[in-house]
Amino acid sequence: MPRLTQAPNLFMATLWADWLRTEGIDASVQREFLRSAAGELPPDQCLPEVWIKDPLQEARAHALLGLLQHVQQRRWVCTCGELVEGGFEQCWHCGSMMPAIEQG
Strands of the sheet with 3-6, listed across from one edge = 3-6, 49-52, 27-30
Which tens digits make up the pLDDT trace of 11-26? 999 999 999 999 999 9
Q: Which residues contact 30 (CB under 8 A, 6 or more apart)?
A: 3, 48, 49, 50, 51
Phi, psi for 29 (deg, rounded to 5): -100, 130
Statement: the pTM of the whole predicted model exceeds 0.75: no
Phi, psi for 97 (deg, rounded to 5): -80, 155
- Per DSSP, helices labelled H in 1-104 are 10-22, 58-69
Q: Mind listing the pLDDT tens digit of every residue in the chain (104 residues)?
A: 899 999 999 999 999 999 999 999 999 999 887 666 666 777 777 899 999 999 999 999 999 999 888 777 788 899 999 999 877 889 989 999 988 764 44
Q: Which residues contact 85 (CB under 8 A, 6 or more apart)?
A: 73, 75
